[in-house]
Amino acid sequence: MNHRLTRRHCLLAAGSLGLPAFAQPETAPMQDLLEARLREDGVALAAGRLSSGNSEFAGAAKRGTRPDADSVFEVGSITKTFTALLLADAVVRGELKLEDAVEVDGIQLRDSAGQPLRWVDIATHRSGLPRLASNMAPANVDDPYADYDEVALRAFLKSWQPGVARASRFEYSNLGFGLLGHALALRQRTDYATLLTRRVLEPLSLQRHIGFGHAALLQGHDAQGKPVPAWHFQSTTAGAGALHGSARGLLRYADAAMGGYEHPLKAAFALCLQRRAAGGAPANPIGLAWLLASLNGRTLFSHDGGTAGFSSSLWLDPSRGRASVVLANAQVPVGDLALHLLDESVPLRDLAATRQASLTLPADQLQALAGVYAVTPQFKLTIRADGQRLFAQATGQAEFELFAKAPRRFFAKVTPLEIEFDADGKALTLFQGGATPRFVRE
């Protein structure tokens, strides 16, 4: 949930909206690459690479048992691509059209001009629905989606006042994809997990590798390596980020998306991978959930995932029949590693150089930045100083560390994100995926 849900956090879930900044190229066996990354960041990694129908896997651990191809991770917002596939399958079955209006429990959603929201608007993050519902108030902030039920969703939808016209702009929405999965399930008088299992996981023979609530789920960790609880979802939010999965399962899913074996969802995948609209950055349009990028004249498809304790990245290169996946049981960046495994001409980010570029600022200077900054009454960013370290936490999300690149400019390591504080200390600007929202200090 780009990201957490999106992920990577609800705030970070937009995932890989562009190709990241890179260091110099290198070519190395997959195992060596994972071990090298863990010397810089993370707790344990599993990875897989598919080329011309042949799969290879590797795993590495800084501590604990080394994961393998079947180790189970939370995959966060990669779930959104499964939800999009569920939608596309409904289109192929003739149950609905992408341009049809969406109705949820008798409530028809409309934009600021009074036009009905369509399935395609939600599936391309162009519905105007916010990232999170304004009435999302988890009893346990470490498990933020666990208690957001149908009553809460219905209350939000009945009171929601849209601020934009449909299809007018990209706004990544975990709420939207949760609602999308829930609405599809309601049409079949079932819940999201049951519908996805029946219509997607079983036809693709994935039910042993991808699913919900796996008992063998690895322990997740935050960006500092501290263990954190797993996330839980109700049917109202599951479509945004509930899935658990393995490297083997996600590579088989990628192979299915590229038509690598016979299955009944080929037409649905084709709908998902069509360019639909502009995404969150000029170079990255969007299909149904999938983000598109161009590399050396080829079109790549990707989605990242992240929760409080896990990070993931899945890439497809259909023109060459290649795919890659990297799964981490910590809140650390893995998108560049997955892309490098897909195409070794794309170099890795230099995490060591990133660390060296950070500044050490006096504790009193950081303390002066601490406070609560709001972009809306419902969505706030809490900045906390701890000696010579600075942390940020968005509403309903896990905390992550910020690193100084200038006295008032900071960056995160868990995702491409920067924050700049105003000189007078009254506000900050967040830079992520081409968006620059302003947060005003309370």
Q: What percentage of the chain reaches a pLDDT higher than 90?
A: 74
Residue 265 has pLDDT above 80, yes or no: yes
| Percent of the chain at pLDDT exceeding 70 | 91
For 36-54, what is the mean pLDDT?
Answer: 94
| pLDDT over threshold 90, residue 110 | yes
Owner of token pair 């993370």: 42
**What mean pLDDT comes out for the span 12-26?**
33
**How confident is the model over 206-223, as a mean pLDDT?**
95
pLDDT at 13 over 60: no
Q: How confident is the model over 408-421, as pLDDT tens digits?
A: 999 987 677 899 99
The pLDDT value given to residue 379: 85
433 band by pLDDT with thresholds 50, 70 and 90: low
- The pLDDT of residue 262 is 96
Among 94-108, 379-393, 421-435, the range of highest mean pLDDT? 94-108
Determine the Cα–Cα distance for residues 273 and 88; give it in Å rounded to an integer.
10
CATH class of 30-349: alpha beta
Residue 326's nearest CA partner among 2, 65, 118, 47 is: 47
pLDDT value of position 14: 35
Q: What is the pLDDT of residue 349?
A: 78
Q: Span 396-416, mean pLDDT?
A: 83
pTM, rounded to two decimals: 0.81
Mean pLDDT of 261-267: 98
Kindly give the residue spans of alpha helices, DSSP state H, lying in 53-212.
79-92, 119-123, 150-159, 174-187, 192-196
pLDDT of residue 424: 92
* CA-to-CA separations, 168 to 121, 165, 177, 369, in angstroms, rounded: 10, 6, 18, 35
Label residue 16 by pLDDT band (50, 70, 90).
very low
Inform me whether the pLDDT recorded for 2 exceeds 60. no
CB 244 within 8 A of CB 212: yes
Question: Tell me: the pLDDT tens digits for 140-177?
Answer: 989 999 999 999 999 999 999 999 999 999 989 999 99
**pLDDT score at 28:** 57
Average pLDDT, the chain: 90
Max intra-chain CA distance, the chain: 63
DSSP label at residue 102: P
Query: Is there a contact between 325 and 313 (Cβ–Cβ < 8 Å)?
Result: yes
pLDDT at position 363: 85
User: CATH code for 358-441?
Assistant: 2.40.128
Q: Is the pLDDT of residue 198 over 70?
A: yes
Confidence of residue 9 (pLDDT cuts 50, 70, 90): very low
Distances (CA, A) of 431 to 4, 187, 226, 416, 427: 16, 39, 26, 9, 13
Where do the structural domains in the chain lie, given as residue ranges? 30-349, 358-441
pLDDT at 30: 94
pLDDT tens track for 74-108 = 999 999 999 999 999 999 999 999 999 999 989 99
Residue 20 confidence (pLDDT):
32
pLDDT of the residue at 358: 73
377 has a pLDDT exceeding 90 = no
In the predicted model, is pLDDT for residue 184 greater than 80? yes
Q: Given this model, what pLDDT does residue 26 score?
A: 34
Q: For residue 301, give both structure tokens.
A: 């498809």
Between CA 288 and CA 78 the distance in angstroms is: 12
Q: pLDDT confidence of 52, banded at 50, 70, 90?
A: confident
Whether residue 297 has pLDDT greater than 60:
yes
How far is the C-alpha of 391 from the C-alpha of 257, rounded, in Å?
39
Q: Is 161 exposed, middle or buried (0-12, 13-18, 19+ CB in 10 A)?
A: exposed
Contact 77, 305 (CB under 8 A): yes
Buried b (16+ CB within 10 A) or exposed e, 175-213: bbbbbbbbbbbbeeeebbbebbbebbbebbebeebbbbe
**pLDDT in the model for residue 354:** 65
